[in-house]
Structure 1
């Protein structure tokens, strides 16, 4: 089985704010959006070079409160030290808050950031190998 694309979908409290934070912080761009589709609006953020993208949604009729735990993580690997440092700075400038990782493993070679809805992103300095 070949999986062509991975979408991570999350409800958010403010589509515009979340989109701006992730575009600015992670260098993503809007790749799709929908408005009031059966009561839902949303935006997809990604990049043509990636095999994954994020989707943020809002339900207009029955608002869903974003819920996340300290172990619900979006983990991104950046092998270059300069790229890792620059992306950490970009996340902070975009409004993410640097937080202490619940699992100390992520602090060894990485940094954990939290957005305004409590979703956490780990920027790991290194590569992932199978």
Structure 2
């Protein structure tokens, strides 16, 4: 089974930059003016998941809960340290999670739309 997480945004380029520059995801594909939608697919080659972000003329009113998060598990310490370094280099502030589990087992940042992202070293080999 493959997994695709799709979300609409007001600023496609800003999200694309965050997820590629800061989190190291790759652009797997994109489209323009598909029934008035532009979009980008982000992830890593040869994995069974990717993120899709779309933008149209419709203004998004974000409605999310503090427990709505995406969790990324780097597989190596080098990958984990690189992500944390990218976050710091881009002057992105870490924030506290509502769920104490993530404060002990990850580092939380907000993406440009305000959605919560956790980088966790729990799966580091």
Provide the TM-score with structure 2 as the length reference.
Answer: 0.87
The aligned counterpart of 1:57 is 54
8 Å contact from structure 1 (residues 28, 47) kept in 2: yes
The aligned counterpart of 1:12 is 9
Q: Please give the secondary structure, in 2, of the residue aligned with 1:53.
A: strand
Counterpart Cα distance in 2 of 1:38 and 1:76: 31
The aligned counterpart of 1:72 is 68
Structure 1 unpaired stretches of 5+: none
Q: Which residue among 104, 112, 115 is the counterpart of 1:116?
A: 112
Structure 2 unpaired stretches of 5+: none
CA drift of 1:27 comes to 1.1
Q: How many residues align?
A: 124
Q: Which residue among 72, 90, 93 is the counterpart of 2:86?
A: 90
Provide the TM-score with structure 1 as the length reference.
Answer: 0.84
Relative to structure 1, the CA distance from residue 83 to residue 6 in structure 2 (aligned partners, 3 Å threshold; closer, same or farther) is same
Q: Please give the secondary structure, in 2, of the residue aligned with 1:99.
A: coil
Deviations 1:2-46 (A, max 9, x none): x1x211111122111110110011211111111121121111111
